[in-house]
Amino acid sequence: MNEARTIPIHKMNGLGNQIVIADLRQSTVTLNGSHASQIAQHPRTHFDQLMALVPAKSPGTEAFIEIFNQDGSTAGACGNGMRCVGLVMQEPGSSATYETSTGLLPVQRDQANILTVDMGEPRLRWDEIPLRDEFHDTTRIELQIGPIDDPVLHSPSVCSMGNPHAIFWVPDVETPALEKFGPLIENHPIFPDRANITIAHVLHDEHVRTRTWERGAGLTEACGSAACATLVCGARLGYLKRSATVSVPGGELQIEWTEAGRVLMSGPAEHEYQGEVTIADDGSVEINI
């Protein structure tokens, strides 16, 4: 085995959101989308997102993190993945800062292993999300699925939390067939970079239930950036306070949109097992778990 091309990995989850962490900081290996999709196809390393840690680029950061979806596409943010990174990289009671393509992400791990990620400021302008068409008001945009006189989903709120998000407000998150409509809306031309699609039901102004179809991954038990986007969009509409519980199929996240404009996400992470991945010269991947 060529040790220079073998990297340690951790299989983890954040409220059921399946995460693989690959530590490349001491390796000459470069992971690409093909490698990521091969790793995702293995039953022991199937993931929603892969967090590839490479040497830090900015002073004061622990690592630069490249994020891959299971189809090999890339993402700019993954809140659940960042909590998993914090669980692996940090001691209880510590703080550290990481960097992704969308900026710096501070992570705090408390003594009870609850991890808080500063997800940064939401992007609310249409061209920052981005959208194909100009909308002056992104609290609601013109988009619907289904018959024009009786749409199944319509008028989503949109924003970016490092990834584009569309939030559809519904009376019941179990009724819409998200597995059917999710991929259609994800790839709608109005979203030039595709989008994460969430349906949300406000229980009261401090609690909302969600289900999410993740861009490049599909239905997920939890999507941290979608939970953040839901809180931000709900607060802009007056549906939610600036701090609320977001219930996802895998559990609960606490989200706060601070007066300073930062979005903080708090929740647990779980380590399942660890192993190794070897990248062959022909680009094939061998999993050893």
- Count, residues in the chain: 289
Active-site residue (options: 159, 223, 228, 233) = 223
> Any idea which residue has 């407000």 for tokens?
169
> Any idea which residue has 């790793």 for tokens?
39
Q: Which DSSP string do the residues of 242-257 spell out, in sequence order?
A: SEEEEEETTEEEEEEE
Look up residue 236 and give its two tokens: 């802009």
223 catalytic residue (yes or no): yes
84 catalytic residue (yes or no): no
Active-site residue (options: 78, 84, 159, 228) = 78
Q: Are strands 243-248 and 251-257 parallel, antiparallel or unpaired?
A: antiparallel
Nearest to 250 by CA among 11, 10, 18: 18
The pair phi, psi for residue 123, each rounded to 5°, is -105, 120
- Evaluate whether 277 touches 68 at the Cβ level (below 8 Å): no
Residues involved in catalysis: 78, 223
